[in-house]
Amino acid sequence: MLPVVILLCVYVLMRIQRRIYRKYWDQNVSVDIAFETRCVMEREPIRVHVAVTNGKRLPLPALSLLFTLPQNFRELRTNDNNVIDSWRRNELFALFSGQRAERTLVFSCEQRGIYRLKEYELNCRSFLMDQDCSRKYAMDAVLYVYPSAVNMRRFLIRFQTIYGSIIANDFHYEDVFQIRGVREYQPFDSQRRINWIASAKLGSLMVNNYEYTTSRKVVIFLNLALDQLAQERMIGEESIRLVKTWCMRLDKNGIQCNIYTNGTDAESGEYVRLEKENIRKNYMEAVNEALTRIELRDAEEDFFGCYAEELDRCKKDHFILIISAYQRPSFQKDLLALAAETGNFSWIIPVNNNSDFRPDARLRKHAVAWDVYWRRERRL
């Protein structure tokens, strides 16, 4: 009789604890999953903070936290070098009453982009490990992985050559705040140049002569179309890194440039463009965010057809920097037309090897090859 009573008591206890866990296991349980920083550079450590708190008296002997990591993440504290498109983390916690547990997971990512954690799942087993309970929760943790700069030592050789052309083509403007003198009014003069005080003193219309000042303006056109479908994604990524590096170096020299691309925005679907007049934050932060949002697929091949108005506006007083691996005749025809109007441009061509460098003979003085696979393992 006693064994029967014992078995009955055990059965009753199991049913009671099952009911208790089924009803209360997720009450006062808080989960916080967050990236340590909002943005990192390619290959920099990415730290994900995970914290779970059990705010009730009921212990949770086996609580599993599951969430899906973005693609291209690789854990740094393991010997696993495989990059998996999408994989799940399963973090196991044992929490007593009022206990909080925290962990920091460290990853790296070699590809720029916007990465999100959208959902996590909690699984809990009862005290006697005889029942599973689970629930999914929505979340929104966002990380920007900015493009890194290209190898600086190699880049500076190209930079000094093209920057010399930028300096040599300074554009001169009249400085309306520096008056050099006055002269008599001519029919072609604007009324805004009239110096009314001098005119009253001398009895005839006099206009201001202004001092001249120089201005260095640079615009970058990034063409992400590829000649062949077989061309690798690496060329597009290196083109984006080149734009970032050029902006960084020009900014250090006091030049902030506009950027126009035919890459689409991952969030809005529109062409990514950055005009310094519309920037309301740090310039390089705006550049990094704009380049991070670029999607490489389906780039428009008629590049200058997309930006004909912007190109016409820049021909007179900007140095034009074109970064494009696309070398088809239609594109080079547009460049020849540009060369006929202005010589103030350079064309950087990212290539896999020298055999891919195929500019027209008339464009060679403007063209510079950039070998993508020369790049060393460590980018500065």
Which among 234, 221, 254, 249 has a CA at the least distance from the CA of 331?
221
Rounded Cα distance between 345 and 333, Å, is 15
329 and 226: one domain?
yes
Rounded Cα distance between 164 and 365, Å, is 14
pTM of the model: 0.79
Total domains present in the chain: 3
User: Residue 178: what pLDDT?
Assistant: 61
For 302-317, b where at least 16 C-beta lie within 10 A, e where not — what string? Answer: ebbebbeebbeebeee
Rounded Cα distance between 16 and 208, Å, is 96
285 and 358: one domain?
yes
Rounded Cα distance between 61 and 101, Å, is 13
52: left (phi over 0), alpha (psi -120 to 50) or beta: beta
User: Residue 378: what pLDDT?
Assistant: 32
Residue 134 domain boundaries: 28-146
User: Residue 152: what pLDDT?
Assistant: 74
46 and 187: one domain?
no
Rounded Cα distance between 2 and 5, Å, is 5
Which among 44, 106, 38, 49 has a CA at the least distance from the CA of 76?
106
* Residue 84: CATH number of its domain: 2.60.40.1530
249 and 350: one domain?
yes
131 and 198: one domain?
no
* Residue 276: CATH number of its domain: 3.40.50
12 is a domain residue? no
95 is a domain residue? yes
**pLDDT tens string for the chain (380 positions)?**
777 778 888 777 778 778 888 888 889 999 999 999 999 999 999 999 999 999 998 899 999 999 988 878 888 765 444 444 457 888 999 999 989 999 999 988 988 999 999 999 999 988 877 788 899 999 999 999 999 998 877 777 777 778 777 766 655 445 555 666 777 878 777 777 788 887 887 888 888 876 554 457 889 999 998 876 545 678 899 999 999 999 998 888 888 899 999 999 988 889 999 998 888 889 999 999 999 999 988 788 888 888 988 888 888 778 899 999 999 999 999 999 999 988 889 999 998 876 678 899 999 989 988 888 754 333 33
Rounded Cα distance between 349 and 365, Å, is 13
Rg (CA), the chain: 31
Q: In sequence order, which residues have a C-beta less than 8 Å from that of residue 329 and are 6 or more positions away?
A: none
What phi, psi does 50 have (nearest 5°)? Answer: -120, 125
4 is a domain residue? no
104 and 40: one domain?
yes
Rounded Cα distance between 231 and 299, Å, is 13
DSSP 3-state of 297: coil
